[in-house]
Amino acid sequence: MGHHTCCNKQKVKRGLWSPEEDEKLIKYITTYGHGCWSSVPKLAGLQRCGKSCRLRWINYLRPDLKRGSFSHQEAALIIELHSILGNRWAQIAKHLPGRTDNEVKNFWNSSIKKKLLSHGTLSDFSMIFPNNLTTTNPNPSFENFYPLNSTPINFMPISTNSPLILQVDHQMNNNHLNGDLNLNPVVPSLINPLSFDSITNDPTWVNFNYPHPQHDLDNYNQNVLIQGNSDSMLTSNISLNYTNGENFMDSRNADIKTHQDLLMVRSVNCVTILFN
DNA sequence: AATGCGATCAACCGCCGAGAC
DNA sequence: TGTCTCGGCGGTTGATCGCAT
């Protein structure tokens, strides 16, 4: 029970992979491609199930993986995307070239979630990067940028004229005013919406200063979900055509913006925190 | 040096949806 | 239409590491 059919056909090894097993898998996939994963173990001479081979390749052996610690940009991006997508780790990982859903998930659970649980807010990014903040900003907290007495961040005006941003905000405002959708952050029980979620709800922020590989970005389609705390869900279908690491095109109006133009007040300040 | 404990992360588990038949 | 296989995903586990005592 619980094992795939491919795992039941033969006795399979479990647990950590040996260097020899890694070598066999790499050699096979680089030569023939993975094809049908369920047939990979047999063809590669491995006593593993296909699922295990797939996982090992995707999470560890793939040549395009970026190893090592998450950068500030990546962490901020994860936080931002998580506020939009929730625990859709695979979707979040797609915005982080070289990172896997497993990595993102582990990073969230180990470095971010626990701090949120212990503090109840992400009011200070130094919780996540205690050693890397500088002193340029004397008070590097999100509340410093979004005063607590300001409009809730979900309904804050934004500085870009991007149609998609305006669309999302318009819909959110309408729902808010109509009282038919309570747009709390995805994890409202953990997070003060004036702080954590305030990095931005702007889906274009995924483009922020990030060197997306062209192959990941061509004809990119994003389905942005803004989840409420009820059974209501606002869905905004947005199609973005990324052109390169610095520009992207909103397919609705063909707005070409440099990343500088995309920086909303919120994300500018966030980055100020991280890199000043 | 030995031990305990929390953090990290690779790997597994269980479920789901798509596609083939 | 129902069943089966497979790939993919999120949740969870457990081994290992590093630090504190």
Q: What is the pLDDT of residues A177-190, one digit of tens each?
A: 332 222 233 332 23
Stretch A114-143: mean pLDDT: 44
Query: Which chain C positions have some atom within 7 A of a protein CB?
Result: 4-12, 15-16
Residue nearest to nucleotide B6 (CA to C1'): A110
**Is-contact A165 A158, C-beta < 8 A?**
yes
Evaluate if the CB of A57 falls below 7 Å from strand B.
Answer: no
Determine the protein residue whose CA lies at the shortest distance from the C1' of B14. A2
What Å value separates CA A252 and C1' B17?
31
Q: What is the pTM of this model?
A: 0.57
Rounded to whole angstroms, the Cα distance separating A26 from A166 reads 47
Q: Is the CB of A34 under 7 A from strand B?
A: no
d(CA A31, CA A42): 15
Give percent above pLDDT 90 in chain A.
Answer: 22
- The gap between A14 CA and B15 C1' (Å) is 20
Main-chain phi, psi angles of A4, to 5 degrees: -70, 160
pLDDT of the residue at A117: 60
- pLDDT for the residue A119: 54
A window 54-113: Cβ near strand C (< 7 A): 54, 87-91, 101-102, 105-106, 109
Q: E-assigned strands of chain A? A: 221-227, 233-242, 247-250, 255-258
Q: Which of A12-26, A217-231, A262-276 has the highest mean pLDDT?
A: A12-26
Does A276 score more than 80 pLDDT?
Answer: no
A19 pLDDT band (50/70/90 cuts)?
A: very high
What residue is closest to C5 (Cα–C1')?
A5
Mean pLDDT of chain A: 55
Nearest nucleotide from residue A105 CA, by C1' atom: C10
